[in-house]
């Protein structure tokens, strides 16, 4: 990828509560809001921050599996319910499994770069609590190679896939160290989520999170190397943010302090039908992040705040290594020494991340961008961290490290 | 003929009832998995009941419960379906399993459906007249090698077998409600029971993941041998307390003591309602007839004459009996004088609770203790505290503990149960009690 041909900015982000098990208001037996509610709520959180919705030129919505979770396709058209001003303008849905939100951002950025749009409303949405988790696992398995992997795969497909990675990692660094680091990742995630009123784990009051995270996995009922606390949640939620040119954000009535600049982007796909080259490395994430940093002209340790795709605690650990913040096999130690905690040198997933905030799959990439934008503009409220450096970096990952979008943002 | 062969053609008579439905479910699931494991064999489950709409509700119940069981056993299904290329998702496999379960179900009103069955379960209404009519009919229709397993909870089996000319082929196989959940089966071998039938009965319990407790062929067996006398004890206590406190507060107090002081899952009158006052009364009739012990209750007759009989409506919703219920919890007490239910959220009920006095500290509940590894020590401390309390509630609790213990010991003395542990096992597994009635909680000197 070449350098950014024109400055592009993110502004006016917002997201909904991540609703699902863990939230007090979640009742699995009661009727719940659907896609419409989340799309409207996240979209209107953006509109509330700008002068005129009519200035939005385009819409992009990231979503993974509404066609199965909600029996709804055609989300590009559906997103116009946010405001009448979106009608008769371009709008489309993009899909790249759990990186759908990241792809929506990349698509919006490219629209602005093309010069055809100055302001793009980028959203992500997923409403997953329409089925039991066993069937949710079926739908999410679509992020793997269905004809080649699903039939002989585990019942809980992706937990099984990442359990293999956790097993390989445990063999590499030692099972006790790996388990301990995953438990610490879980504790950090929930502690951050407790500060974020929209997080699914916000109401979590468990006194000893570490003990919970150390629960031995149950291979008979779940997976060999992951326990339930290692997993991100089944979530309903949406996130939205504006991608704008300088002219675009100024027209919206925003100043430079209200926005962050996209100074680097790495976007790539790997072969879905092939197994990962190394179970203990997230190779595509590593390459995409390197590409984004190269475009931004920064090194691995330059960002002051990070958002990584911790769909499981093991992917959190592997992300630390993929971002170049630890040698291969050194991610566990990095987590244990507190580097990734909110008080550490490389604060990660400060609003809870996927394990703590929740993982409404299609929304997660956009939610990451919103959290970075909040941190870099001082809008993160109770979960704000003091910023030592001016960059933030995010990695939105789809499937087993197959589609990745990485962005470097600067305040 | 081995159990595997017999399980290929099974019937449940009275299948639409509460107990019959549960037994049908257990057998349907067992056959469903067997059908997948042994594709060369044919499995048939005949579900017989006079109630057509009940049978339709049963098929719905089987569908829903088979799906839940398939979901719980998804790894087993994924392994069983590994060669079925058309089944890939969990959902595909669970749906196919549900289809496999329902595929072998035949429903109908006629006992002729059981003609080819090799195991016939019976869970019909608990009267000898009904059971006699069924078994006499089955004796004519069924193959001579067919075995009969009766879910009777009170009727002596030797007499039943003799009256219906099926000696040797009948065994008592008493599930507890709900059969799909409760772990206990009380097995009653009548004198002439074919040893082969007894062996199969225990083997089958293992397959269905049930615990068995043998009981002698004495009316009421162990479960009702204790429960009926416990219920009648409670009624006598109400009658005694009524003189001073009035009937409705007395009933409320006895119920509350048995639940909150004795830490049982339900108060004794709530349990009576759950079983059904009519069913309870039928059982007292059977036991009175066979045991020469007068177990009838004029109070129960009075309630039944007023049409108040408890039990459960569709979906297991509690029907009003001694108590009325809101969201499954006791909310009012029936007053046979005025024929009205008196709300528990009222001054009279608070006054009655005050009369009982406080519970021991720290507070314990049946629910909280269920999975508590230290439940044994906590129960001992709880009852030690009750021993030392000078309140009406503690005194009633002590009396009830002693009466319950005496009833249990009598079952051992009379040879109904082989030993105290069998009595305790039945109350713990079949009634979800935290402790058996034969205990030392109210024995010895009070501190």
Find, among A381, A25, A19, A364, the residue nearest to A200 by Cα. A19
Considering the domain boundaries, does residue A332 fall inside one? Answer: yes
pLDDT for B445: 66
| CATH number of the CATH domain containing A323 | 3.40.47.10
Considering the domain boundaries, does residue A168 fall inside one? Answer: yes
Task: Find the residue in A nearest to B72 (Cα).
Answer: A221
Q: In A, which residues are within 8 Å of B82 by CB distance?
A: 151-152
Alpha helices in B123-194 (DSSP H): 128-141, 157-164
A365 with A223, same domain? yes
- Distance of alpha carbon B385 from the chain centroid: 32
Considering the domain boundaries, does residue A246 fall inside one? Answer: yes
A241 with A376, same domain? no
Whether B327 has its CB under 8 Å from any CB of chain A: the answer is: no
Nearest-angstrom CA–CA distance, B278 and B281? 5
Considering the domain boundaries, does residue A147 fall inside one? Answer: no
Q: In B, which residues are within 8 Å of A146 by CB distance?
A: 88
Number of domains in chain A: 2
Burial class (CB in 10 A: 0-12, 13-18, 19+), A48: exposed
A273 with A406, same domain? yes
Whether B82 has its CB under 8 Å from any CB of chain A: the answer is: yes
A375 with A338, same domain? yes
Nearest-angstrom CA–CA distance, A71 and A104? 21
Which parts of chain B have pLDDT scores under 70? 444-447
Residue A321 contacts residue A181 (beta carbons within 8 Å): no
Whether A6 has its CB under 8 Å from any CB of chain B: the answer is: no
A175 with A187, same domain? yes
Residue B80 contacts residue B100 (beta carbons within 8 Å): no
Contacts of B4 (CB under 8 A, 6+ apart): none
Sequential DSSP letters for A323-357:
TTSS-TT-HHHHHHTTTTSTTSSS-B-TT-HHHHT
Residue A138 contacts residue A378 (beta carbons within 8 Å): no
Q: In A, which residues are within 8 Å of B75 by CB distance?
A: 155, 220-221
A89 with A181, same domain? no
pLDDT for B317: 87
Q: How close B266 gets to chain A, by Cα (Å)?
A: 26
Domains of chain B: 3-215 (3.40.50.720), 223-431 (1.10.1040.10)
CB contact under 8 A, A138 and B71: no
3-state secondary structure of A21: coil
Find, among B58, B81, B343, B425, the residue nearest to A152 by Cα. B81
Whether B335 has its CB under 8 Å from any CB of chain A: the answer is: no
Whether A2 has its CB under 8 Å from any CB of chain B: the answer is: no
Indicate the pTM of the whole model: 0.90
pLDDT for A1: 57
Q: How close B158 gets to chain A, by Cα (Å)?
A: 45
**Treating both helix axes as pointing N-terminal to C-terminal, what angle do B375-387 and B392-413 enclose, rounded to 10 degrees?**
120
Q: Which of B87, B89, B94 to mutate to test the interface with A (most CBs of A within 10 A)?
A: B89
pLDDT for B314: 72
A98 with A244, same domain? yes
> One digit per residue, pLDDT tens: chain A, 411 residues?
567 889 999 999 999 999 999 999 999 999 999 999 999 999 999 999 999 999 999 999 999 999 999 999 999 999 999 999 999 999 999 999 999 999 999 999 999 999 999 999 999 999 999 999 999 999 999 999 999 999 999 999 999 999 999 999 999 999 999 999 999 999 999 999 999 999 999 999 999 999 999 999 999 889 999 999 999 989 999 999 999 999 999 999 999 999 999 999 999 999 999 999 999 999 999 999 999 999 999 999 999 999 999 999 999 999 999 999 999 999 999 999 999 999 999 999 999 999 999 999 999 999 999 999 999 999 999 999 999 899 999 999 999 999 999 999 999
A293 with A238, same domain? no
Express each pLDDT in A339-366 by its tens digit: 999 999 999 999 999 999 999 999 999 9
Considering the domain boundaries, does residue A299 fall inside one? Answer: yes
Number of A/B CB contacts below 8 angstroms equals: 27
CA atoms within 13 A on the CB side of B63: 9
A225 with A243, same domain? no
Contacts of A34 (CB under 8 A, 6+ apart): A70, A127
Considering the domain boundaries, does residue A92 fall inside one? Answer: yes
Considering the domain boundaries, does residue A274 fall inside one? Answer: yes
CB contact under 8 A, B90 and A137: yes
Whether A137 has its CB under 8 Å from any CB of chain B: the answer is: yes
Cα angle at A124 between A31 and A77, to 5 degrees?
A: 85
CA atoms within 13 A on the CB side of B10: 27
A110 with A223, same domain? no
In the sheet where A391-398 sits, what is the strand order? A91-94, A58-62, A119-127, A236-244, A9-15, A259-269, A403-410, A391-398, A305-307
pLDDT for A312: 98
Task: Find the residue in B nearest to A152 (Cα).
Answer: B82
Nearest-angstrom CA–CA distance, B26 and B227? 25
- Distance of alpha carbon A301 from the chain centroid: 21
Whether B89 has its CB under 8 Å from any CB of chain A: the answer is: yes
Whether B140 has its CB under 8 Å from any CB of chain A: the answer is: no
pLDDT for B312: 85
Whether A134 has its CB under 8 Å from any CB of chain B: the answer is: yes
Q: Which of A134, A153, A222 to mutate to test the interface with B (most CBs of B within 10 A)?
A: A134
Considering the domain boundaries, does residue A188 fall inside one? Answer: yes
Find, among A96, A83, A24, the residue nearest to A366 by Cα. A96
A213 with A362, same domain? yes
Q: In A, which residues are within 8 Å of B91 by CB distance?
A: 135, 138
CB contact under 8 A, B90 and A150: no
Query: Smallest Cβ distance to A138: which of B75, B85, B91?
Result: B91
Where in the sequence is the domain holding A269, given as residue range(s)? 153-199+207-231+264-410
A45 with A165, same domain? no
């Amino acid at each position: 990828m070449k350098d950014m041909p024109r400055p592009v900015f993110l502004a006016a982000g917002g997201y909904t509560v991540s609703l699902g098990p863990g939230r007090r208001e979640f009742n699995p037996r009661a009727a719940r809001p659907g896609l419409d509610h989340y799309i409207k709520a996240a979209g209107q959180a953006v509109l509330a921050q700008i002068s005129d919705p009519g200035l939005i030129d385009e819409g992009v919505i990231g979503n993974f599996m509404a066609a199965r979770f909600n029996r709804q396709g055609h989300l590009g058209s559906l997103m116009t319910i946010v405001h009448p001003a979106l009608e008769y303008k371009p709008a489309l849905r993009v899909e790249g499994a759990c990186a759908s939100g990241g792809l929506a951002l990349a698509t919006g950025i490219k629209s602005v770069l093309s010069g055809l749009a100055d302001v793009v409303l980028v959203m992500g949405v997923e409403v997953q609590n329409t089925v039991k988790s066993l069937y949710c696992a079926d739908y999410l398995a679509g992020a793997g190679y269905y004809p080649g992997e699903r039939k002989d795969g585990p019942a809980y497909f992706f937990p099984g896939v990442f359990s293999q990675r956790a097993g390989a990692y445990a063999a590499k660094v030692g099972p006790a160290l790996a388990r301990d680091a995953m438990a610490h990742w879980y504790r950090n995630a929930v502690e951050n989520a407790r500060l974020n009123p929209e997080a699914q784990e916000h109401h979590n009051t468990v006194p000893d999170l570490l003990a919970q995270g150390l629960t031995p996995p149950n291979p008979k009922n779940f997976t060999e190397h992951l326990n339930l606390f290692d997993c991100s949640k089944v979530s309903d939620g949406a996130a939205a943010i504006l991608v704008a040119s300088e002219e675009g954000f100024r027209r919206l009535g925003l100043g430079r302090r209200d926005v962050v600049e996209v100074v680097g982007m790495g976007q790539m796909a790997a072969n879905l039908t092939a197994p990962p080259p190394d179970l203990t490395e997230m190779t595509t994430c590593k390459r995409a992040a390197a590409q984004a940093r190269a475009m931004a002209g920064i090194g691995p340790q330059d960002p002051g705040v990070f958002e990584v795709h911790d769909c499981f605690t093991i992917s959190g650990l592997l992300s630390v290594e993929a971002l170049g913040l630890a040698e291969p096999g050194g991610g566990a130690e990095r987590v244990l020494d507190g580097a990734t905690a909110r008080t550490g040198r490389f604060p990660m997933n400060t609003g809870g991340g996927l394990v703590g905030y929740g993982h409404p799959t299609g929304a997660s990439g956009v939610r990451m961008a919103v959290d970075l934008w909040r941190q870099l503009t001082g809008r993160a409220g109770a979960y704000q961290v003091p910023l030592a450096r001016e960059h933030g970096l995010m990695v939105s990952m789809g499937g087993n490290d197959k589609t990745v979008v990485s962005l470097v943002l600067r305040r | 003929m081995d159990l595997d062969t017999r399980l290929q053609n099974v019937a449940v008579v009275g299948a639409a009832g509460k107990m019959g439905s549960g037994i049908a479910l257990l057998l349907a699931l067992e056959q469903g998995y067997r059908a997948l494991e042994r594709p060369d064999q044919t499995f048939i489950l005949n579900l017989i009941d006079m109630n057509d709409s009940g049978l339709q509700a049963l098929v719905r119940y089987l569908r829903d419960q088979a799906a839940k069981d398939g979901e719980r056993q998804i790894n087993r299904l994924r392994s069983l379906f590994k060669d079925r290329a058309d089944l890939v998702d969990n959902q595909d496999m669970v749906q196919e399993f549900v289809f496999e379960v329902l595929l072998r179900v035949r429903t109908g009103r006629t006992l002729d459906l059981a003609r080819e069955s090799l195991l016939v379960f019976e869970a019909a209404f608990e009267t000898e007249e009904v059971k006699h009519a069924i078994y006499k009919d089955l004796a004519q229709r069924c193959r001579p090698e067919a075995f009969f397993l009766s879910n009777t909870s009170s009727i002596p089996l030797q007499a039943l077998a003799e009256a219906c000319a099926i000696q040797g082929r009948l065994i008592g196989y008493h599930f507890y409600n709900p059969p799909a959940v409760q772990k206990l089966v009380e097995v009653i071998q009548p004198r002439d029971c074919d040893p082969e039938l007894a062996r199969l009965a225990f083997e089958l319990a293992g397959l269905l993941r049930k615990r068995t407790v043998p009981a002698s062929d004495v009316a009421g067996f162990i479960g009702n041998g204790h429960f009926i006398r416990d219920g009648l004890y409670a009624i006598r206590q109400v009658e005694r307390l009524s003189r001073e406190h009035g009937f409705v507060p007395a009933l409320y107090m006895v119920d509350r003591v048995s639940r909150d002081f004795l830490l049982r899952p339900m108060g004794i009158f709530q349990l009576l309602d759950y079983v059904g006052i009519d069913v309870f009364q039928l059982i007292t009739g059977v036991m009175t007839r066979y045991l020469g012990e007068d177990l009838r209750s004029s109070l129960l007759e009075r309630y039944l004459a007023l049409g108040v009989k408890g039990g459960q409506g569709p979906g297991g919703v509690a029907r009003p009996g001694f108590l009325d219920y809101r969201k499954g919890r006791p909310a009012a007490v029936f007053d046979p004088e005025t024929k009205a239910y008196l709300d528990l959220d009222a001054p009279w009920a608070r006054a009655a609770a005050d009369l009982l006095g406080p519970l021991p500290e720290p507070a314990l509940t049946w629910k909280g203790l269920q999975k508590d590894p230290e439940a044994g020590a906590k129960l001992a401390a709880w009852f030690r505290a009750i021993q030392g309390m000078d309140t009406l509630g503690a005194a009633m609790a002590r009396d009830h503990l002693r009466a319950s213990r005496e009833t249990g010991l009598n079952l051992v003395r009379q040879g109904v149960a082989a030993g105290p542990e069998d009595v305790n096992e039945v109350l713990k597994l079949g009634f979800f009690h935290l402790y058996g009635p034969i205990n030392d909680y109210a024995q010895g000197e009070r501190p």
